[in-house]
Structure 1
Amino acid sequence: MARRLLKEEQEMVEVVRYISEEGIGAGDFGGVPASDTPIKELEVVKYDGVVGEFQENECSICLEEFEFEMEVIQLPCKHIFHGGCLTQWLENSHLCPLCRYELCF
């Protein structure tokens, strides 16, 4: 069951995709990368598809749907992402790609 994105969410996803594809880094937009310590301490959980437990059914960075029982990384703000996608994001920014929750660095 795919969730339809609102227009604002679609625009945000396009911005994230553009930043990712263009290789825009910390020096380009003033972003501060997350340190290795917070990245290593992030919770790895299994995606079980339960609507109430998880806010998303797809990785908002790459836009691929999560598979049942797939391991994903959950930020303290409860947003979940593919591990590789989030690691790459956090190399350029210490903020959650969705809500801008600030990871300690």
Structure 2
Amino acid sequence: MSSEKLKINYSNVENKLQEIESGAKKKLLDNGNSYVTSVKKIASEEGAFKENIESTLNDDKNLFVNFSNLSGKINAGIRNVCNSFKKLDSSMAKDMQKTKKASSKK
């Protein structure tokens, strides 16, 4: 083979290698960009998921506070009813004593 042919073949091989290298770099860059986009999308979804969890926790906390308030009101209502029965019982006992005194005087 002549030196000229070797140069042409070497040049062809070199050009082909450059094409392959350029294609490989582009493919790596595209894959890298795709990977970055995927990571950003996942991070965004995780952010939305975190916001949903925080919102749910706040809703649960509000529900607990509302339940606690309601429970306190129910307990206060029960105490009021019990106090009313105690007053009624005391009033009835006084009335019974008055009635006994009045009947014993007769």
If the length of structure 2 is used for normalisation, what is the TM-score?
Answer: 0.18
Structure with the greater alpha carbon radius of gyration: 2
Structure 1 length-normalised TM? 0.18
Higher strand share: 1
Q: Which of the pair has the greater relative contact order for Cα pairs under 8 Å at 6+ separation?
A: 1
More helix by share: 2
